[in-house]
Amino acid sequence: MEISGVNSIRGEINIPGDKSISHRAAIISALASNQINIKNFLLSQDCINTLNILKKLGVKIEKNNSNVIIHGLGIQNFIEPDDILYVGNSGTTIRLLSGVLCAAKITAVLSGDKSINNRPMDRIIFPLKDMGANIYGRNNNSKAPIIILPSYKLKGRIFNIPISSAQVKSCIILAGLFAEGVTEIIQPEVSRDHTERLLEYFGVEIKYDGKNTKVFSLFESNLKGEIKGKNLYIPGDLSSATYFIVASCILPNSSIIMKNIGINPTRSKVLDILQLMGANIEIKNKKVINNELVADIESFTSNLKAIKVDKNLIPIIIDEIPALCVASVFADGETIIEGAEELRHKESDRINSIYNEFLKAGVDIKQKKDGLIIKGNKDFKPNGGIYESYKDHRIAMSLAILGLKSNNKIRILDSECIETSFPGFLFELKKVLN
């Protein structure tokens, strides 16, 4: 991808369906016993990998553009796959499906690309083992590939998770659905609650408040082991929308509108942070769809100022931090991000990736073990040249937005990785450039 500086951006952006919700909608619909129509499903590479794995487990799936029909099979009818279940670059896929497959009474092997196979999996393997799962991983049960053998009795447990993680929590919740008794997950900070909201919408007995979640066995509830799904609409992905919000803030004479964006309270803190930095953002037409809060977002040219990001918010803004770093480059003062060591365990080591490429751009930036310090300037102009995406979609999109302020052309290597979460990103960007 090549990006040159522009005068402004103006117009309406079509933001694709939320990646986190799309994964969960597909997986939980497969566990249901009926047909479920999903509109605005994100057909990115990550979510396609989830659909392909479900097909290998015997689930019938139909696709028509962004509409997907899942013929719910119920976990008891999953078939044993005759091939490795390849998750590609998707941490959500491997972690959530591990929780499901431990209860499926089949043998399965989950593996991904080099990045996934070097991300920490002990954080799900050991809790699942504590529940009675027959699950193993490479490198002393800490890495993928993950091997799952039939487990005939899972038992609910109370888990105190040291790091707040929606993926880890969701993995345990999905296993807990098919375990005896109650499964409880206690986290130090709030994490995303899309899994809880979707299960609640489907009638599953679950209690949650952001930090603590209790899920009750399907077999011991009035559902008698069966989930009845409902048709779904996937709201636009706020993480994807954040790049365009930042672009409109840092460019002169700019305004962007995006409709039907998910503003779930465990996701929308990024908007609060940007507004604290001085971003001119308007949130309109709020409504609830499928137990998720949705709204239209309009953003405008803004005078940004630096802040210290509250480290307690890191778990619920973790995916938006690369975009926030771009905003920080053009915010007067010193922005401090701490408590974000989890960024080192994403598609790339995002702390190191941002540091290396922003330094190349001429940004005044310092790297810490758990974060970054960025000294911003609204008049800053990034250097032109060749930039490395590290095959990380969020790094690539951040560099693209950074490049809009350059006086010279920048080239982003391996930018096709953006297809992981935002197919059509470049098309949407080009149509609003001025």
Active site residues: 319
Furthest C-alpha separation in the chain? 64
Contact partners, residue 51, CB within 8 Å, separation at least 6: 26, 61, 63, 68
Of 73, 126, 189, 118, nearest to 348 by C-alpha is 118
Q: What 8-state DSSP symbol labels residue 234?
A: P
Residue with token string 């047909």: 35
Q: For residue 405, what are its two tokens? A: 């302020």
CA angle 271-273-278, nearest 5°?
A: 95
CA 300 – CA 111 distance, rounded (Å): 43
Using CB atoms within 10 A of its CB, is residue 371 exposed (0-12), middle (13-18) or buried (19+)?
buried
Q: What 8-state DSSP symbol labels residue 102?
A: T
CA 181 – CA 47 distance, rounded (Å): 31
Using CB atoms within 10 A of its CB, is residue 113 exposed (0-12), middle (13-18) or buried (19+)?
middle
Distances (CA, A) of 284 to 9, 33, 316: 20, 37, 22
Partners of 207 in the β-ladder = 214
Q: For residue 192, what are its two tokens? A: 């995303």
Q: For residue 275, what are its two tokens? A: 């507004």
Region of 2 (left: φ > 0; alpha: ψ -120 to 50; beta: rest) is beta
Residue 75's identity, in one-letter code, is I
Cβ atoms of residues 172 and 150 within 8 Å? no
Cβ atoms of residues 129 and 155 within 8 Å? no
Cβ atoms of residues 45 and 53 within 8 Å? no
Of 66, 150, 154, 77, nearest to 107 by C-alpha is 150
